[in-house]
Structure 1
């Protein structure tokens, strides 16, 4: 088979695109940017992304998909007030919006029409920031080879956020106007206004720190779930198991346990089931530790004992 021989490409991500191919000949173009859905191989040829995402890739996408949902729920709870009966319905609506957005995003991604995506494997952190590796052979002229080497893990998040925002603007205002009877006219839309702020923030975070989040998200999940659980149990004055016997508190506790499990699975990647699955037994440990030690760290008790000691 005859292969068109040209000088080697400069830079990490510049490649030659296939122009013509038959049974005996492959002809490649000049070095440059690879088309969308392709990335360079070790020989500096642009190759289509044909692999399926690994478990860790799906967990990363799941984390990015959960961020707006968790923020929706937080602001709905924050602005609903204790007397409002609309919070639960708004929570369900937010879940519906994000779920439909995720399904539509997968359907419009390549291959179109199925709940699957084809991707390129992430090899190193620089794969997320190809714009920083455009070569300058003479230190004057820059060869622009910026492309999505981690296709589609970078852009699919932006598509998902766009669908989330569109669905929220189509569904939530009408529903909130009808059901938020316990809130004032200015308060009932505050959770929607909050989303109009945090979606641009999430977009900037993904644009700038997508690669860093890809490697750090398991630890972010674990730390945030531990901190928020401790803050919630402290604010709710949960000091024994009987204080957990409320429906809302049990739901919140189970949600944190699911986040703990998500973080543990993301860190271990479940490479070896017999070693990694027993780690899930640690999921209830932080809550149990808090409940068992809360009585000994209660501020009023510490102050009273200090006063008695003097």
Structure 2
């Protein structure tokens, strides 16, 4: 009966244009004109706007987790960067820096919880969503049809509801909570820092939040499909840079300072997160053994670092001549 009702309607052009359901009388539905679907709906196979009643799958949650981690990692980086020594060193250089790290964690965690509670259904940590089918679902503004090549029918809507806009809401709450909590904390505890450096980690956030917002607005769909590989590549590169900058060559070098172990385990967690995101753990018996590869890059570096030390290479080269 629904298909018959759809067939008598004029053609609805455009990949994401649809007809809203105006009323339902028994098994007969009455549809509106072809146009944009309301928020929280997307078109079905018959060009009818249907409410999103699904839940995010495991990969969707992993993507949201990645987007939630970005500001937290940047917070930690800039807090440590401006905590005294201008070099690439991770937590925790001082007690004041540690408190700032914990505050940043509190801000991002609270922002995530508030964002989920305010999402539909309101008051629940669960959210309803539309299923992501293809890359174009993230860029519906590029698929507005022009039937007569003059008039454009605007059908832009969030076909991946709420994966696109929920990230913006989360960033907004992160920024608000940071502005409410961090300045007071820094003013009280960061007495060891210079006046010019005391608030620089906050100033840095005022720069990277707009950058993250633009990144999500322009490349949200690309990030959705590429974030597992981005995590693996960046975690490998940053781990290699840290180990080389800290002149870590042997396992005992890691045990001397607890900070280095914290950095190592943090990167291992990122490696594991990337592997889980790629495999999605659809087949546990095949995917779980892949987690055994997590320590491999660090172990390879530690076993080969002594053979690639620049001073040793130069000395052996000089002896060869």
TM-score, scaled to structure 2: 0.95
**Residues 194-273 of structure 1: pairs in structure 2 closer than 5 A:** 194-245=204-255, 246-273=257-284
Q: What displacement does 1:212 show?
A: 0.4
**Residues 20-99 of structure 1: pairs in structure 2 closer than 5 A:** 20-82=23-85, 84-99=94-109
Which sections of structure 2, spanning at least 5 residues, go unmatched?
A: 86-92
Partner of 2:125 in structure 1? 115
Partner of 2:19 in structure 1? 16
Aligned residue pairs, count:
310
Alpha-carbon separation, structure 2, partners of 1:89 and 1:7: 63
Encode CA deviations 1:270-302: one digit per residue, 9 max, x unaligned: 111110110000000000000000000000000
Secondary structure, aligned partner of 2:23: strand
1:167 aligns with 2:203: no
RMSD: 1.0
8 Å CA contact 1:84, 1:181 repeated in 2: no
Alpha-carbon separation, structure 1, partners of 2:259 and 2:110: 26
Partner of 1:138 in structure 2? 148
Q: What displacement does 1:76 show?
A: 0.1
Secondary structure, aligned partner of 2:249: coil
Secondary structure, aligned partner of 1:220: helix
Secondary structure, aligned partner of 1:86: helix
Secondary structure, aligned partner of 2:307: coil
Q: What displacement does 1:184 show?
A: 1.5
Match of 1:287 among 298, 311, 317: 298
Alpha-carbon separation, structure 2, partners of 1:247 and 1:284: 18
Secondary structure, aligned partner of 1:19: strand
Alpha-carbon separation, structure 2, partners of 1:233 and 1:24: 66
Q: What displacement does 1:84 show?
A: 4.6
Alpha-carbon separation, structure 2, partners of 1:208 and 1:304: 50
Alpha-carbon separation, structure 1, partners of 2:128 and 2:262: 36
Q: What displacement does 1:33 show?
A: 0.1
Secondary structure, aligned partner of 1:10: coil
Secondary structure, aligned partner of 1:295: helix
Secondary structure, aligned partner of 1:192: helix
8 Å CA contact 1:8, 1:44 repeated in 2: no
Encode CA deviations 1:214-247: one digit per residue, 9 max, x unaligned: 0000000000000000000000000000001121
